[in-house]
């Protein structure tokens, strides 16, 4: 009998860059950019801490947007 990871049934995001622990993390309902960074262990010491760059795929293209820390991060389904 195999067990399915609880993360596989939930949307996830990949946090890269100047965070303490980059990696793949589960999406949390009502997540903000700041919440996502906290889940990844917080900012690295040399990080710019006023805004973050959010990268998403849409129509086969990557779209990069600079957002404030209180920006609500939508899940892939568009739910917040």
Q: What is the pLDDT along the chain (80 residues), one digit of tens a residue?
A: 445 455 456 778 888 899 999 999 988 888 999 999 999 999 999 998 999 998 888 889 999 999 999 999 877 655 44
- The residue segments making up the domain with residue 61 are 12-68
Taking the whole predicted model, whether its pTM rises above 0.85 is answered as: no
Task: Assess if residue 75 is contained within a domain.
Answer: no
Task: Assess if residue 22 is contained within a domain.
Answer: yes
Angstrom distances, CA of residue 58 to CA of 38, 64, 68, 72, 79: 26, 10, 21, 18, 16
- Say what the pLDDT of residue 14 is: 86
Number of domains composing the chain:
1
Task: Assess if residue 39 is contained within a domain.
Answer: yes
Task: Assess if residue 35 is contained within a domain.
Answer: yes
Task: Assess if residue 49 is contained within a domain.
Answer: yes
Task: Assess if residue 51 is contained within a domain.
Answer: yes
- Say what the pLDDT of residue 1 is: 45
Task: Assess if residue 21 is contained within a domain.
Answer: yes
Task: Assess if residue 80 is contained within a domain.
Answer: no
């Amino acid at each position: 009998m195999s067990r399915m990871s609880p993360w596989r049934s939930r949307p996830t995001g990949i946090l890269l860059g100047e965070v303490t622990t980059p990696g793949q993390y589960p999406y949390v309902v009502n997540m903000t950019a700041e919440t996502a960074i906290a889940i990844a262990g917080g900012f690295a010491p040399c990080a710019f801490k006023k805004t973050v760059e959010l990268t998403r795929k849409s129509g086969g293209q990557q779209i990069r947007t600079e957002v404030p820390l209180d920006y609500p991060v939508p899940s892939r389904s568009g739910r917040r």
